[in-house]
Amino acid sequence: MAVSLTEYANSLDDRNLIWPQVAPPVTVRATPSIQPLNDIRIVLWDVYGTLLRTTGGRFCLIPDPQTALEIALEKTINEFNMWNSMYRKPGPPWQSMINQYTEYHKRLSMAATKRNGDLIDPDLVDLWEGIIARLFSKEYSYDEGFYGDLRQFSEKVAYFFHSNLQGVEARSGALQAMHDLYAIEIAQGLLADGQSFTFTQLLRALSLQGTLPPLAAMFHPDAVLFSHELGIRKPSRSLFELTRERLKVAGFQPEEVLHISCRLATDLVPAKAAGMKTALLAAEKTGLEAQNELLKDSATRPDRLLTDLNQVATLFGIM
């Protein structure tokens, strides 16, 4: 029986592999606004840049410059023994795959959306499934008993590749903030640009800070929404409207929802337009997106400003 994604990720820990590291945070000068908010019943966290510190501050599939992409492709080719089944070009293995990778990404990014203004979010598992399918024409094989069918295998390849593309680590105070909310029975969810492996990345990073609360009790089942599921990413209006309607069905009115993110224009402004309360996390320069004109405008200004995740408890009267 094939291992799960979590089991696969855990198995890599035993091999002492070298992963990219996130640079130490560079703090910003900001004055927190952390007066308690009334009537909030659920907190929706952003993931990359907020709960997780990551290289570049946000989820990325085509970094600039592309050095990190070259390294991640090279490691992935070697890890899954793809080289002998690739159409080779002179030079290192990554040179034979990088154009294929970027072309698949471009093709997936150009798919039509149902609504004008929505932005496509390519599924990295779809991308790797396409690349791997081409390898079969040159007698490529893998251990199906361990990795599973093509879809399951592609997800594990996508996880390994992205783990080598962008370093991630839980932000200081992330697990404690979630424990504090759990203790006072504030529901929690995730509203983030992310992939099918994002939840696994998040839980593994948080577990390094301590023991997680029971997941079924901490995360509301109708409030974990990643962009890859819908095929559209922030700031697509449809993503926030669907979130609002899904939470309404679950019994949460928009004004009872607090969305926390380090990005104003793409995350908090559309969340506020959907009727939610918002809190901007200004904990470090990397990943922070807080345009002055949006901070000054009452229609887009966040309801609260945090400089540390430990301040989340204060929003709910926990000192």
Of 165, 189, 210, the position where a domain reaches its end is: 165
The 3-state DSSP class for residue 33 equals: strand
Do both 54 and 71 map to the same domain? no
What span, in angstroms and rounded, lies between the C-alpha atoms of 38 and 316?
Answer: 8
Q: Is residue 87 part of a domain?
A: yes
pLDDT at 94 over 80: yes
pLDDT at residue 312 is higher than 90: yes
Residues 104, 61: Cα–Cα separation, whole Å: 11
The pLDDT value given to residue 45: 98
Of 128, 149, 165, the residue at which a domain comes to its end is 165
For residue 305, tell me if it sits in a domain: yes
pLDDT confidence of residue 29: 93
Q: Are residues 198 and 212 in the same domain?
A: yes
Is residue 311 domain-shared with residue 202, that is, in the same domain? yes
Q: Does a structural domain hold residue 225?
A: yes
For the chain, the domain total comes to 2
Same domain, 29 and 109: no
Whether 104 is in a domain gets the answer yes
Reading the block at residue 61, the tokens are: 């599939």
Cα end-to-end distance, the chain, whole Å: 49
- 154 within 8 A of 194, measured Cβ to Cβ: no
Same domain, 158 and 293: no
For 280, the token pair is 């901007």
Q: Are residues 37 and 160 in the same domain?
A: no
Q: Are residues 258 and 289 in the same domain?
A: yes
Q: What is the per-residue pLDDT across 191-246, written as a single tens digit (0 to 9) for each?
A: 999 999 999 999 999 999 999 888 888 899 999 999 988 899 999 999 999 999 99
pLDDT value at residue 117: 84
CATH number at residue 197: 3.40.50.1000
Determine whether 99 is exposed, middle or buried from the number of CB atoms within 10 Å of its CB (0-12, 13-18, 19+): exposed
Q: What range defines the domain where residue 304 resides?
A: 7-58+168-316
189 and 279 fall within a common domain: yes
36 lies in a domain? yes
Residue 237 falls inside a structural domain: yes
Residue that terminates a domain, selected from 165, 184, 201: 165
Eight-state DSSP code of residue 212: P
Residues 64-79, mean pLDDT to the nearest whole number: 95
Q: Are 48 and 107 in a shared domain?
A: no
Domain match, 292 and 263 both = yes
Looking at the fold, whether 254 and 283 belong to one and the same domain comes out as yes
What are the φ/ψ torsions at residue 191 (nearest 5 degrees)? -130, 100
pTM of the model: 0.95
**Where does the pLDDT of residue 319 fall: very low under 50, low under 70, confident under 90, or very high at 90 and above?**
low
> Does 218 map to a domain?
yes
16 and 128 share one domain: no
CA–CA separation, 314 vs 263, rounded Å?
21
Examine residue 2 and state whether it is found in any structural domain, yes or no: no
